Amino acid sequence: MESLLIRLELKLNTLKANARKALVAYLVAGDPDLESTLELMHGFVSAGVDVIEVGVPFTDPIAEGPIIQSAHDRSLKKKITLKKIILLVEEFRKKDSNTPIILMGYLNTFLAYAEELNNIHNRGVDALLIVDIPGESNLNEVGIYNKSIASISLVSPTTSLSRVDGICKSSSGFIYYVTLRGVTGSEDLDIKDAKQNIENIRTKTILPIMAGFGIKTSKDAAYLSEVSDGVVIGSSLVEMIHRASDKKDYKYIYNYLNEISEAINK
């Protein structure tokens, strides 16, 4: 059976070959409910999203700012589990076999389902992004033994160059460059540092580099896409989803994503 690690690589390589930047979009599974998440995922793709990061809720998400924390809490109140999220991905795959899917979350929830994770590459998941494991660690070192999924690591403005090498060696898919010192959705986007730091990472790896944390406007997205291979939009989407959760009319979100997709590919 072909390794599904290929889906993420193929997507990113194709974008590169066409001189296009990737738009990665994040949402928290089950906020406001799983049906909406499924609808939003398909809607994201139609609006120009290339890769989807599905947030797995955790009671103690220490890297998240208030917006994503609240979304985790709302999702947990709906009793969303990793098991249900994998089923959601399978459902998504019925209509979309091209868009790579990354599960993003915290180690403890993944460890609770360590066995179930062994075959998630056959169920449509392409990568894991575990926020609280040291970047140098391989997934199997922390107790997740699936070798057919990509492991995406974070590099931050405070990561020393000596560690970047080790982090890149144990990563696959892409490198996620954190564009600020802080939690998700903060205001102090560190645009100046980003260029230099991303250039430094490039000396250590051939993997694509995505920039994320705190990118809200198409202007910021456009600037960061010039120095990276794509951008990740998270908190602002989560906030917009929450604001629209009453009427479940998500059109303005798709317009917003469309605008960003165009801005990064001018």
Partner 1 sequence: MDKFKDLPDSDGFFGDYGGKFVPETLMYALQELEDTYSKLKDNNEFFANVDKDLKQFVGRPSPLYFAKRLTKYHGGPKIWLKREDLNHTGAHKINNTVGQILLAKAMGKKRIIAETGAGQHGVATAAVAARLGLECHIYMGANDIQRQSLNVYRIKLLGATVHAVKSGAAILKDALNEALRDWVTNIEDTYYIIGSVTGPHPYPMIVRDFNAVVGRELKEQSIELFNKFPDAIIACVGGGSNAMGVFYPFLEEDVKLVGVEAAGSGIKTGKHAAPLNDGKPGVLHGAKSYLMQNDEGQVIDTQSISAGLDYPGVGPEHSHLKDSRRATYIAVDDVEVLKAFHNVTRLEGIMPALESAHAFAALEHLVKDFSKNANLVVNVSGRGDKDINIVATMGGISLD
| Residues in contact with partner 1 by the rule CB under 8 A | 58-63, 65, 69, 73, 76, 81-83, 106-113, 131-135, 153-160, 163, 178, 181-183, 186
Backbone angle region of 140, left / alpha / beta, with phi > 0 → left and psi within -120 to 50 → alpha: alpha
Residue closer to partner 1 by CB (options 213, 223) is 213
Residue closer to partner 1 by CB (options 7, 65) is 65
Residue 108 phi, psi (nearest 5): -60, -40
Cα→Cα distances 102→28, 82, 191, 220, Å? 12, 13, 25, 23
| Minimum separation from the CB atom of position 153 to partner 1 (A) | 8
Q: Is 180 within 8 Å of 157 (Cβ atoms)?
A: yes
Residue in 98, 148, 157 with CA at minimum distance from that of residue 128: 148
DSSP assigned state of 117: G
How is residue 83 written in tokens? 């098991």
Question: Helix or strand or coil: residue 62?
Answer: coil
| Minimum separation from the CB atom of position 60 to partner 1 (A) | 5
| Minimum separation from the CB atom of position 34 to partner 1 (A) | 15
Residue closer to partner 1 by CB (options 51, 178) is 178
| Minimum separation from the CB atom of position 23 to partner 1 (A) | 22
Residue in 200, 185, 196 with CA at minimum distance from that of residue 235: 185
Residue in 259, 213, 185, 256 with CA at minimum distance from that of residue 40: 256
Residue closer to partner 1 by CB (options 107, 244) is 107
| Minimum separation from the CB atom of position 73 to partner 1 (A) | 8
| Minimum separation from the CB atom of position 130 to partner 1 (A) | 9
| Minimum separation from the CB atom of position 235 to partner 1 (A) | 14
Residue closer to partner 1 by CB (options 79, 247) is 79
Print the SS3 string covering 141-171: HHCCCCCCCEECEEECCCCCHHHHHHHHHCC
Residue closer to partner 1 by CB (options 47, 209) is 209
Residue closer to partner 1 by CB (options 183, 264) is 183
Length of the chain counted residue by residue = 266
